[in-house]
Structure 1
Amino acid sequence: MSLKRETLREQWHLLLLAISFFSRIPVELKVDVTENMLNQASRYFAVVGVLIGACSALAFYLSASILPIELALLIAMFSSVLLTGAFHEDGWADVWDGFGGGWTVENKLNIMKDSRLGTYGAAALFFILMIKYQALLALIQQNITHTALLNESMLSESLSMLSILVLGHGLSRVLATSLITDMPYVSEDATSKVKPLAQSLSSNSYLILLSTGGLVIAFTLSFSIAWKLVAILLLTRWCLKRWFTKQLGGYTGDCLGAAQQLSEVVIYLVLLSLT
């Protein structure tokens, strides 16, 4: 019984560590963080995504009760950016600045660690946020039509948005984190402003990560849509892996952030095209 309690306590600490790294949600860690803990905490990255998605959906529900749907969606998106500190959006912009402006791996890494935002990064950030907004808005409008036809309540519509946002935030972090398993980490110097939380993923951690993604899919999608989404996400992962390998020979923390942003948008576009 004592061993079981100790194991649960360790897992709780790993979850808190994952939340503290990938969000601005205040948590209290009463243990010394080790490199091994950092690697093991990667198993809960998708759980953090589910939490962010749920909070974003709550912001949408509260806002939509008093504001137009378009503004409620912007508030929901803004709440997710606040909760994460724009961590993944920063990675997306840095990747485009580095890959677009650098000629060698060293040049690209130097540009990516620069805190200033360049033209490539600004343009990429604008378009990814606009595509995300338009895709979510179209999904909301589909849900509104469905709700009106079935005489369902606003709560039913918000529950649909909960499923969409939990799926998008949770599953995109599964894809991004999975890149750690079969890609080398590209070392950056000590002045780099962004480093990945984990540089390795154990078999148990990978299984927990994939299981979380599987549960999210099982609770939000029908099988006819789920297998198509998974197939497209596997293709997206393959493309991202080839892109990062060609540009850097591996991945950095910025690459994982970029992978999360792109795969989140892919999820919304796939849902839009299949529903």
Structure 2
Amino acid sequence: MRWWAPPLLALQFLTRIPVPITARLSAAEAREGLIRAVGWFPLVGALVGCVTAVVAVAAGSMWPAIVAVPIALIVEARMTGAFHEDAVADFYDAFGGGYTTDDVLRIMKDSRVGSYGALGLLLAVGLRMGLTVVLLGGEAWYATAAIVAAACFGRLIAVALMAIVRPVGSGLGKDVTGRVGGATLMLAIATAAPGVAAFLLLEPLRLIVVVAVALMFLGWFRALLLRRIGGSTGDCLGFAAYAGQLILLLAATAGR
């Protein structure tokens, strides 16, 4: 396996940024590289967060925060293909409208968005927008650190969920997530360090609270997934990533 393959495949998987060099990989290398790429997801999240933060702060210097934040989220959605937002909508539709395991899995595969998905996505994005508006109302450096840390931490939560809940279904997604274990999680924690470092230095106690709340969320979410569908899917992972992002943003804005 070429050393550069996992991080670049992680970038290619989580964003729409062209990575033409990955075309040099054979099918077997690409498959194995994608499995190893999971550990690099938090670092890619930090990159996405950097872009969002820079756009938000720059736009905030010209327009009110209520205008600047949607501009930043539009740029981010274009960069990521609204990857996690799509998962949030599918998750709410499936778990809100499905009664049996088969119902939940069937609805998650349906590309149409129902009332549960529309409302859930609206509330999730609206909450994130509101929290980011609050951040932009304060110091630019603090807002940047929190936005980057949240994007990084959300992807780390998704990797943690892969490590503690087996996948359901079939295909490449199951092959990738089914091989995530302790070593991959440790790599993900290491690659998350640059993204959360600034926030850790600024607000160590808040980050401790974030980790504690995230662990409680993971315990609750794992029990829910095992009870309802017997495992996890890509949409569940995307929902977990968005939830992790919101947890950190809520902590960063509390009392500000």
Q: Does 1:217 align with 2:213?
A: no
Q: Does residue 91 of the first structure (1) align with residue 83 of the second (2)?
A: no
Aligned CA-pair RMSD: 1.9
Quick one: distance in 1 between partners of 2:181 and 2:117?
33
Number of aligned residue pairs: 249
Cα distance in 2 for residues equivalent to 1:162 and 1:50: 11
Letter in 1 for 2:166: P
The residue number in structure 2 matching 1:269 is 250
Alignment of 1:17-28 (within 5 A): 17-28=9-20
Give the percent of matched residue pairs that are identical in Structure 1 and Structure 2.
29
**Contact 1:225–1:274 at 8 Å: present in 2 too?**
no
25, 50, 53: which one pairs with 1:31? 25
Of 139, 148, 167 in structure 2, the residue corresponding to residue 185 of structure 1 is 167
1:177 is matched by which residue type in structure 2? V
Whole-angstrom CA distance in 2 between matches of 1:272 and 1:18 = 30
Cα offset, 1:211, TM superposition? 1.6
Structure 2 CA distance, aligned partners of 1:200 and 1:23? 22
Pairwise CA distance, 1:38: 1.8
Distance 1:120 1:11 in 2: 43
2:229 pairs with 1:248: yes
Q: CA contact under 8 A between 2:163 and 2:182: conserved in structure 1?
A: no
In 2, are the aligned partners of 1:40 and 1:202 still within 8 Å (CA)? no
How far apart are 1:267 and its partner, in Å?
Answer: 1.1
1:165 lines up with 2:147 in the alignment? yes
Paired position in structure 2 for 1:151: none
Change in Cα spacing, 1:106 to 1:92, as seen in structure 2 (3 Å) is same
Structure 1, unpaired ranges of 5+: 1-6, 148-156
Query: Which ranges of structure 2 fall in alignment gaps of 5 or more residues?
Result: none
Matching of residues 190-201 of structure 1 within 5 Å: 195=173, 198-201=177-180
Q: Secondary structure at the match of 1:250?
A: coil
Q: Deviations over 1:64-93 (max 9, x none)?
A: 232222211111111111111111111111
- Residue matched to 1:121: 117
SS state of the match for residue 135, structure 1?
Answer: helix
- Please give the TM-score of this superposition, normalised by the length of structure 2: 0.90
TM-score (norm 1): 0.84
| Alpha-carbon distance between aligned partners in 2 of 1:91 and 1:261, rounded to the nearest angstrom | 9
Deviation at 1:215, TM superposition (A): 4.0
8 A Cα contact 2:40 2:187, kept in partner? yes
Amino acid at match of 2:198: F
Of 140, 156, 163, which residue of structure 2 is paired with 1:174?
A: 156
Q: Any idea what the Cα deviations from partners look like across 1:236-269, whole Å, max 9, x if unmatched?
A: 2112212222221110000000111112111111
- 1:58 and 2:54 are equivalent in the alignment: yes
Tell me which residue corresponds to 2:40. 44
Q: Is the 8 A contact 2:158 2:238 kept in 1?
A: yes
Q: Secondary structure at the match of 2:169?
A: coil
From 136, 140, 146, the counterpart of 1:140: 136
What is the distance in 2 between the residues matched to 1:13 and 1:183? Answer: 26
Change (3 A) 1:246 1:274: farther
